[in-house]
Amino acid sequence: MQVEEILHAALEIPPAKRESFFNEFCGEDVELRREVESLLAFEENSDDFLNVSPESLAAEMFAEREPQTSLINREIGHYKIKELLGKGGMGEVFLADDTELERLVALKVLPVEVANDSERIRRFVREAKAVSALNHPNIITIYEIGKTNDTHFIATEYIEGETLHSRLSSEQMNLKSVLDMAIQIAGALDAAHRAGIVHRDIKPENIMIRPDGFVKILDFGIAKLIERHSESVEAKAATATKGLTRDGMIIGTASYMSPEQARGKNTDARSDIFSFGVVLYETLTGKQPFEGESAIDTISSIISKEPMPLSQLTPDIPRELNHIVEKSLRKDREERYQTAKDLLIDLRDVRQDLEFQNKLERTASPSREESKIQILSATTSDAVHTTLS
* Enzyme catalytic residues: 201
DSSP code string of 191-237: HHHHTTEE-S--SGGGEEE-TTS-EEE---TT-EE---SSS-HHHHH
Are 185 and 347 spatial neighbours (Cβ–Cβ below 8 Å)?
Answer: no
Degrees (nearest 5) of the Cα angle 348, 350, 355?
95
d(CA 375, CA 369): 10
Identity at 37, one-letter amino acid code: E
**Whose CA is closest to 222, among 16, 17, 55?**
55
Kindly calculate the radius of gyration of the chain based on its CA atoms and give it in whole angstroms: 26
Reference 73, options 104, 91, 97; nearest CA is 97
Whether residue 333 contacts residue 257, with contact meaning beta carbons closer than 8 Å, is answered with no
Which element (helix H / strand E) includes 39? helix 30-45
